[in-house]
A and B are shown apart, each in its own frame.
Chain A
Amino acid sequence: MPENAAHLTAPLLMVSGDNDPTQRGADNIFARSV
């Protein structure tokens, strides 16, 4: 997911939990989209 986020060309709206082991690295994913 981080690699894909880094290649986005459209705006990203992301809603993610902060205590769910299946949603690891949310901050990194979002940061890579910038």
Chain B
Amino acid sequence: MRQKLIWLLIGCDALTASAHAETIGVVMMHGKHGTPSQLQQIAGSIAEAGFAVERPEMCWSAARIYDRTYLECFADIDAAAARLKARGATTIVVLGMSLGGNAALGFGARRQGLAAIVALAPAHAPEFLGRRPEIARSVAKAQAEVAAGWRDEKSTFVTSMSARISRLLPRPRSISTSSVPTRRQ
């Protein structure tokens, strides 16, 4: 990964050598259950190259733990971009790692005028996770509860992590579950 990051930085330098680096702002998004500090090293390198950097704490951080929906989280990216523009940035690059990389793709698909999208090890694809029977059952259960008007009640679902753990156990007798409170939309 380190070698890839080095090549990434070299690539960024090469691509922007003729650009006005001081006008480009970079919004950097950490991974699932992470923090902005995950990107401190690469953020420092990008800042040294002359780019303005913002590293918002996204709603999938360890502290916020999904306090908004995926699409609502994009408001945090918009806010970070606005801060960069207030600092003089005229165009925005969004960069994310892991789930942040996933969000960089999602945000880029819904916003015009971005200078570039950088996805570092983008991950967590519901297209694949939803095919697991235990997760598909949980998704159907959640959808039914939402449709039935559940809002602040608690319910229990199989998550991707618990499903993976259950597969690793020598003799799984039951699927591990975790409680996920529903929230009012």
Residues of B within 8 A of A9 (CB): 108, 112, 114
Q: How far is the CB of B95 from chain A (nearest CB, A)?
A: 9
User: In the complex, are the beta carbons of B121 and A15 less than 8 A apart?
Assistant: yes
- Chain A residues within 8 Å of B, Cβ to Cβ: 1-17, 20, 22-26, 29
User: In the complex, are the beta carbons of B122 and A14 less than 8 A apart?
Assistant: yes
User: In the complex, are the beta carbons of B106 and A15 less than 8 A apart?
Assistant: no
- Of the 9-residue stretches B50-58, B124-132, B133-141, B176-184, which lies at the interface with chain A? B124-132
Q: How far is the CB of B127 from chain A (nearest CB, A)?
A: 7
Interface size on B, residues (CB 8 A): 31
- Interface majority SS (helix, strand, loop, mixed), chain A: mixed
The docked-state distance in angstroms from the alpha carbon of A24 to that of B102 is: 12
In the complex, what residue of chain A is closest to B94 when comparing beta carbons?
A10
